[in-house]
């Protein structure tokens, strides 16, 4: 009984399949293209010079866009149907945390740059220290060579010249001392004449002032009383009084200068004059000592001290060179820190850039699949963008038996299923190199450029029938 039911089920399936095949063949027989008839197996059909296939209308370009990183949608910058240009922002994720990371990375870059400048400054100082130490070595070696060479005629001659010059200085200082301690009679006479002149000036002004004071006389008033009147009292008297005071001061200054000359040099002047002579005598003694040293030549102790100076100078060079190595290591570390900081900043900038979906080309927003506040997963399509400035056709059922008979550049005729009585023309643009399995067949997608697509109201996804002339 069970076996009978299985056999009956198989018979029903066969009958249904046969019926579907019959109706499909009838439908294909009623709507064949005028130039060729599509067949299920082209290898069994006669070669009529055409390759037939079905396809769909697609825009010139289209893309399903997604975020490169996940997050919550903060802003939708476009609406469906909006026209956008390449690079325009379309959607934006929340970026508060990422902006804080970027700010921190920028701060680290600034600190690393400052650290590099400081390290470079230390390296320059270390290099200068090496040069200074090397100069010290050269000077110490030159000093040692001079000492080892013994007395030099030019040094002895120079020391002798210094002795002669010091002796001359002593003579000059003594002459200056004698001149400073003796006051010529001519100076005293000139001072006496100056005192006499200012005394005469003082007496003349005094007489004029006394005349002003004595120029008073009685006057009878209208009431019969009398009063003494001094007409020059006031501004005239005050001006003459000031002139008298100035003359007195000048006379006193001239008298003080005469008294100082008559008293002779002060103790301070005498000490200063004698001190200059003492200094000159000390210089003479020093020059003589230096001459003796120059004539005697360096001692063994001096030579040993010079040798020690050379050794110390070489040690200073070694220390300075070690400082350069340390400074160079510091520069390398600072450069590495800066590179790491810049890498971190670049990573932060990239992470921020990934929170924005931008249009890869100019086109129309076909669909937006998220809302503000939604969580967007990385790589999940959220915006469809298409370039509707033109149309292409992409085949859907061109098999491996037919694809070998066509080539890019072959002319094509296209009939749109939704628009009867119209035929479009085009050219094969590309043929996929990789097969696409479709309902058990091995098919290859072919892209066709349309020549006159703008005259018809085409829409994305419309079904078309394609005939390729071979």
Residues present in the chain in total: 470
Question: Which letter does DSSP use for residue 399 in this model?
Answer: B
Question: Which letter does DSSP use for residue 265 in this model?
Answer: S
Which uninterrupted H or E stretch holds 395? strand 383-395
Nearby residues of 299 by Cβ (< 8 Å), 6 or more positions away: none
Name the phi and psi angles at 299, rounded to 5. -90, 170
Residue 341: predicted pLDDT: 95
Residue 160: predicted pLDDT: 86
Name the phi and psi angles at 79, rounded to 5. -125, 160
3-state secondary structure of 362: coil
Number of other CB atoms surrounding residue 319 within 10 Å: 12
Residue 47: predicted pLDDT: 53
Dist. CA 137–CA 316, nearest whole Å: 9
Average pLDDT along the chain, 470 residues, taken 10 residues at a time: 39 42 42 40 51 94 93 94 95 94 95 95 93 93 83 80 88 79 79 90 90 84 81 83 90 88 73 80 87 76 89 92 93 95 95 94 94 93 94 94 93 94 94 88 94 88 91
Which uninterrupted H or E stretch holds 290? helix 267-296
Distances (CA, A) of 47 to 54, 158, 397, 468: 19, 123, 19, 13
Dist. CA 432–CA 163, nearest whole Å: 109
DSSP codes, 155-187: HHHHHHHHHHHHHHHHHHHHHHHHHHH---HHH
Which two three-digit tokens encode residue 274? 């004698």
Residue 437: predicted pLDDT: 85
Quote the crossing angle between the two packed helices 96-148 and 300-353, to the nearest 10°.
Answer: 170
**How distant is the alpha carbon of residue 116 from its chain centre?**
13
């Amino acid at each position: 009984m069970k076996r009978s039911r299985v056999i009956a089920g198989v018979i029903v399936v066969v009958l249904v399949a046969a019926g579907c095949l019959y109706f499909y063949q009838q439908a294909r027989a009623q709507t064949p293209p005028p130039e060729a008839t599509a067949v299920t197996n082209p290898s069994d059909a006669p070669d009529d010079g055409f390759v037939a296939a079905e396809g769909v209308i697609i825009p010139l370009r289209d893309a399903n866009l997604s975020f490169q990183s996940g997050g919550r949608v903060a802003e939708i910058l476009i609406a469906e149907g909006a026209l956008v240009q390449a690079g325009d922002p379309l959607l934006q994720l929340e970026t508060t945390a990422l902006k804080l990371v970027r700010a921190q990375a920028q701060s680290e870059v600034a600190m690393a740059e400052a650290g590099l400048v400081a390290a470079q400054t230390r390296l320059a100082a270390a290099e200068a220290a090496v040069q200074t130490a090397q100069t010290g070595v050269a000077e110490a070696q030159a000093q040692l060579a001079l000492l080892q060479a013994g007395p030099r005629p030019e040094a002895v001659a120079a020391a002798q010249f210094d002795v002669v010059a010091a002796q001359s200085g002593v003579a000059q200082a003594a002459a200056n001392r004698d001149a400073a301690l003796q006051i010529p009679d001519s100076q005293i006479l000139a001072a006496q004449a100056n005192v006499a002149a200012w005394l005469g000036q003082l007496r003349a002004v005094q007489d004029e002032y006394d005349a002003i004071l004595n120029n008073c006389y009685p006057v009878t008033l209208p009431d019969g009383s009398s009063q003494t009147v001094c007409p020059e009292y006031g501004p005239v008297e005050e001006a003459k009084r000031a002139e008298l005071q100035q003359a007195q001061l000048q006379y006193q200054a001239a008298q003080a200068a005469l008294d100082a000359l008559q008293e002779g040099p002060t103790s301070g002047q005498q000490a200063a004059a004698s001190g200059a002579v003492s200094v000159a005598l000390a210089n003479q003694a020093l020059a003589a000592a230096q001459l003796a040293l120059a004539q005697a030549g360096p001692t063994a102790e001096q030579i040993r001290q010079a040798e020690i100076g050379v050794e110390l100078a070489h040690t200073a060079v070694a220390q300075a060179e070690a400082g350069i190595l340390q400074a160079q290591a510091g520069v390398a570390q600072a450069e590495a820190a800066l590179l790491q900081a810049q890498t971190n900043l670049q990573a932060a900038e990239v992470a921020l850039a990934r929170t924005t979906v931008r249009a890869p080309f100019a086109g129309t927003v076909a669909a937006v699949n998220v809302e503000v506040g939604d969580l967007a997963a990385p790589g999940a399509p959220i915006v469809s963008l298409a370039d509707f400035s033109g149309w292409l056709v992409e085949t859907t059922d061109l098999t491996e038996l037919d694809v070998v008979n066509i080539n890019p550049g072959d002319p094509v005729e296209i009939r749109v299923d939704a628009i009867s009585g119209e035929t479009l023309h085009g050219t094969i643009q590309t043929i996929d190199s990789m097969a696409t399995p479709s309902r058990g067949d091995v098919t290859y997608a072919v892209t066709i450029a349309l020549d006159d697509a703008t005259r018809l109201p085409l829409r994305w996804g419309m079904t078309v029938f394609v005939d390729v002339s071979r």
